[in-house]
Amino acid sequence: MTTDAPPPPSGPDTAPAQPTAQAFVRMQESPEFGELRRAHRSFAFPLTVAFIAWYLLYVLLSNYAGGFMGTRLLGNVNVALVLGLAQFATTFLIAWFYSRHAAGKLDPQAEAIKSRMEADA
């Protein structure tokens, strides 16, 4: 399927204004950007450390606690299977928490920074 619509106009009148490199550096050094970075790091780093510790616990239990991991819970379902599936559940739960955190706190701050930079350009 082809369209006969003309291509969008191009040129200096239609291109959005771009902030300068100095504007990016100033914004990066601003308290507003520092708060955005802190909000991201205060959420992402602790969850990353917790998830890595949880994953390593699973690996260590698998290697060194075979008897415990082989304990049957229900039929052929054992502790290893439950903890392995919990790894997937944890991954999706963290992704969901992060998306809520980003939508509620990070995205509005980032949009405000972006709008201000574009307005100043």
Return d(Cα 43, Cα 36) in angstroms, integer: 11
- Say how far apart CA 48 and CA 100 lie, in whole Å: 16
Show me where the domains of the chain are located.
32-120
Query: How big is the CA angle at 29 (ends 28 and 33), to the nearest 5 degrees?
Result: 55
pLDDT of residue 45: 96
Backbone torsion region of residue 11, taken as left when φ is above 0, otherwise alpha when ψ lies between -120 and 50, otherwise beta: left
More confident site: 14 or 64: 64
Band of pLDDT at residue 18, cut at 50, 70 and 90: confident
Q: What digits encode the pLDDT tens for the residues 66-75? A: 999 999 999 9
